[in-house]
Structure 1
Amino acid sequence: MRNRYLDLLRFLAIVRVVVYHVTGWASLTLVFPAMSVMFALAGSLMAASLERSGPPAVLRRLRRLLPSLWVLAAVFVPAMLLTGLPVTPRVLLWLFPVSDPPANGWGALALSVIWYLRDYLWFVFASPVALWLFRRAPLPTLLAPYALLAAIESGLWAGAPGPAREFGLYFGAWLLGFAHHAGMLRRLANRVLVPAVLVLAAAGGAWILTHPGPRGYDLNDIHLGNALWSAAFILVVLGRAPAGAAWVDRSALVGRAVTVLNRRALTVYLWHMPFVVALTPLVDVVGWSHQDPLGLAIRVLLVFALVGVVTMAVGWVEDVAARRPPELLPGGGRSRRPSAVVPKVVVPAPRTASAQVTAARR
């Protein structure tokens, strides 16, 4: 059974990412460090998959991840090739982005969110070994990415390759997802959790204040501060997570929105940035500037509307990748049991029990 609280967190994270890319408000990264939360949720799901089916879970995760990327690439890679992107073997990275796939000038900005899939792939590959280590030495394994990032950001490993920095920045959140799945965060007593949150938040906040980036206090430019601040945030939202959030479904509209965005999270994430890039010069001409609250609201609504259209057109690919029946909009009414006509057939008890077991496994 799905945990609607975790669904709600993912919903808020996706909405926050889109709004941030439209508005550019650095404060949003501090209020809700969405990318770290998304990696933590993904880590929790990956740990559950590995526990359930072992290393084959890696292939299953790739099967669910890559088809949506291929749909995006089928549209944008030919467009980039026609507008100056050279044809090289690196173009194949759009099929399997273990490194940054090539892009031309406009494509580099419109498709900049691909870094998330690159990191996600590497974290998935590392998860079987990381989970093995985590089960045997939880705290040292959890602290390793943060120690790595501290060494890089402090200059002790100034020449570190890009992947090492990415592991230091976000793999700690992924491992906190492991801890969440194992129930470790929930079992932390307040006398341990509260001081840990305060120390991480204070250390992260101090680093952020003393190391502002080119956009001020935007966490995306302040890696160590981002990692520490996000860890404190994750400890709170997952360490004291409720068992569920049934209230989400008390409103049909809210429940449907949360379901749709969870089932189409990858599609929304991949497609929103091209619309942000395309709409910016158009709405500037009309006069809906970033300084105008009404203009910003219109920008956000336009981006969500266009992403909604694309999601209805190609979002079903996520259903196929997950081996679910494809739906135009997930979360519709479930099939109802017939009530007017009931076959009057006496079913033997053993067969009924078998049928019930079969239905419960679906």
Structure 2
Amino acid sequence: MRNRYLDLLRSLAIVRVVVYHVTGHAALTLAFPAMSVMFALAGSLMAASLDRTGVPAVARRLRRLLPSLWVLAAVFVPAMLLTGLPLTPKVLLWLFPVSDPPANYWGGLALSPIWYLRDYLWFVLASPLVLGLFRRAPLPTLLAPYALLAAIEFGIFPDAPTVLREFGLYFGAWLLGFAHHDGLLRRLSDRVLVPTALVLGAAGLMWIFTHLGPRGYDLNDIHLGNALWSAAFILIAIGRAPAEAPWVDRHPLVSRAVTVLNRRALTVYLWHMPFVVALTPLVGLVGWTPRDPLGLAVRVVLVFALVGVVALLVGGVEDLAARRTPELVPGRSRQTLADRAATAPTSPAPASTDLVPAAAPRVPAPRRPAADRSSRGA
């Protein structure tokens, strides 16, 4: 059974990513380190998949990841080839992005979120081996990515390849997902977890505010501060995640939005940035400044609306990749023929049904046999 709290956390992370890319507000990266949260949740799911099916879980995870990328590539790669992208063997990286696939001058920005799939792919491939190491030596394995990142940031390994740097930056969050799945975070007492989170958070903030990047305190430019602050956030937000969150489903609109965002997470993530790039030039045409609050709000709404249209058109690919029946809009309750027959109104009403007109006075019903009384539902 799905944990709706984790579903809610993932949907909030996706919304935060989109809003950040539209507005560029650095404060959003501090308030909610969305990418690390998404990697932590993915790590937890990957550990669960490996426990269920073993190494074949890697192929299943890739099957769910890659088709949405291929749909995007089917649209944008021909467009880039027609506008100056050289046709070289590297174009095949759009099928299996173990490295950054090539892009031309406009595609480089519009398709920049592909790095997430590149990292995700490497983390999935590494997971069968690393999960075994993690379970033999949890703490050293968990600390290894942070030590690697520190070595890179302090200049000990300054020319590290991009993939290795990303392992240092985000694989720690993925391993915290392993710890969540195995129950290690849940078993930590508050006397251990809370001080640990506070120390990591304080160290992360200290590094962030003493190593400001070109965009100020935007975490995307401050890798070590990002990793430490994100680890603190994950320890609290996921380490103390409730086992259930029935309150999410008490509000139909919230429940449906959470379901849609989770079932269409890749579609929203992959397609939102092209619309952000396409809408940005329109700001000047209507007289808004880049930071005009009304203009930013309108652009956020338009990006979500356009992504919603794409989700209607191609979002079913995510259902097919997950071997679900494709749905136009996920989350609609489905009744079987038996359910519909049981709930269909009958006319005239069965003679055995007790019907009392609304305006009629209550009349004591004749006492029925015990067997008949027991058939009434609660």
Q: TM-score, normalised by structure 2?
A: 0.89
- Match of residue 345 from structure 1: none
Once residues 284 and 323 of structure 1 are traced to their aligned partners in structure 2, the CA distance between those partners, rounded to angstroms, is 44
Is the CA contact (8 Å cut-off) linking 1:114 and 1:270 kept in structure 2? yes
Is the CA contact (8 Å cut-off) linking 2:201 and 2:232 kept in structure 1? yes
SS at match of 1:335: coil
Q: Deviations over 1:41-93 (max 9, x none)?
A: 00000000000000000000000000000000000000000000000000000
Question: 1:290 offset after TM fit, Å?
Answer: 2.9
- Match of residue 104 from structure 1: 104
Question: 1:251 offset after TM fit, Å?
Answer: 1.1
Stretch of structure 1 that moved more, 236-245 or 42-51: 236-245
- 1:278-357 equivalent positions in 2, closer than 5 A: 278-336=278-336, 337=339, 338-339=341-342
Amino acid aligned to 1:182: D
Question: 1:340 offset after TM fit, Å?
Answer: 5.9
Once residues 303 and 257 of structure 1 are traced to their aligned partners in structure 2, the CA distance between those partners, rounded to angstroms, is 16
- Match of residue 358 from structure 1: none
Q: Deviations over 1:217-269 (max 9, x none)?
A: 00000000000000000000011111121111111111000000000000000
Once residues 3 and 193 of structure 1 are traced to their aligned partners in structure 2, the CA distance between those partners, rounded to angstroms, is 21
SS at match of 2:214: coil
- Indicate how the Cα distance of structure 1 residues 143 and 286 shifts in structure 2: closer, same or farther if over 3 A, else same: same
Once residues 287 and 22 of structure 1 are traced to their aligned partners in structure 2, the CA distance between those partners, rounded to angstroms, is 17
2:117 is aligned with 1:114: no
- Indicate how the Cα distance of structure 1 residues 56 and 293 shifts in structure 2: closer, same or farther if over 3 A, else same: same
CA RMSD of aligned residues (A): 0.9
Stretch of structure 1 that moved more, 327-336 or 172-181: 327-336
- 1:191-230 equivalent positions in 2, closer than 5 A: 191-230=191-230
- 1:38-57 equivalent positions in 2, closer than 5 A: 38-57=38-57
Amino acid aligned to 1:89: P
Question: 1:289 offset after TM fit, Å?
Answer: 2.8
Q: Deviations over 1:161-201 (max 9, x none)?
A: 11111000000000000000001111110111111011101
Is the CA contact (8 Å cut-off) linking 2:23 and 2:291 kept in structure 1? no
Once residues 86 and 340 of structure 1 are traced to their aligned partners in structure 2, the CA distance between those partners, rounded to angstroms, is 61
Stretch of structure 1 that moved more, 12-21 or 249-258: 249-258
- Match of residue 33 from structure 1: 33
Amino acid aligned to 2:5: Y
Question: 1:155 offset after TM fit, Å?
Answer: 0.7
SS at match of 1:175: helix
Once residues 271 and 209 of structure 2 are traced to their aligned partners in structure 1, the CA distance between those partners, rounded to angstroms, is 33
Amino acid aligned to 2:59: L
Question: 1:283 offset after TM fit, Å?
Answer: 2.8
More helix as a share of residues: 1
Once residues 273 and 187 of structure 1 are traced to their aligned partners in structure 2, the CA distance between those partners, rounded to angstroms, is 39
Rg bigger for which structure? Answer: 2
Once residues 176 and 164 of structure 1 are traced to their aligned partners in structure 2, the CA distance between those partners, rounded to angstroms, is 18
Once residues 340 and 119 of structure 1 are traced to their aligned partners in structure 2, the CA distance between those partners, rounded to angstroms, is 49
2:167 is aligned with 1:164: no
2:73 is aligned with 1:73: yes
Once residues 288 and 76 of structure 1 are traced to their aligned partners in structure 2, the CA distance between those partners, rounded to angstroms, is 29
Is the CA contact (8 Å cut-off) linking 1:21 and 1:273 kept in structure 2? yes
- 1:76-87 equivalent positions in 2, closer than 5 A: 76-87=76-87
- Match of residue 17 from structure 1: 17
Stretch of structure 1 that moved more, 237-246 or 73-82: 237-246
Amino acid aligned to 1:81: L
User: Which segments of 5 or more consecutive residues in structure 2 lack a partner in the other structure?
Assistant: 345-378
User: Which segments of 5 or more consecutive residues in structure 1 lack a partner in the other structure?
Assistant: 342-362
Is the CA contact (8 Å cut-off) linking 1:287 and 1:295 kept in structure 2? no
- Match of residue 149 from structure 2: 149
Alignment identity in percent?
80
Runs of 4+ in structure 1 displaced over 4 angstroms?
none
Once residues 298 and 159 of structure 1 are traced to their aligned partners in structure 2, the CA distance between those partners, rounded to angstroms, is 42
Question: 1:276 offset after TM fit, Å?
Answer: 0.1
SS at match of 1:50: helix
Once residues 77 and 119 of structure 2 are traced to their aligned partners in structure 1, the CA distance between those partners, rounded to angstroms, is 21
| Equivalences, count | 341
- Indicate how the Cα distance of structure 1 residues 82 and 186 shifts in structure 2: closer, same or farther if over 3 A, else same: same
Once residues 32 and 278 of structure 1 are traced to their aligned partners in structure 2, the CA distance between those partners, rounded to angstroms, is 26
SS at match of 1:290: coil
Q: Deviations over 1:314-354 (max 9, x none)?
A: 0000000000000000001221412168xxxxxxxxxxxxx
Is the CA contact (8 Å cut-off) linking 2:5 and 2:244 kept in structure 1? yes
- Match of residue 364 from structure 2: none
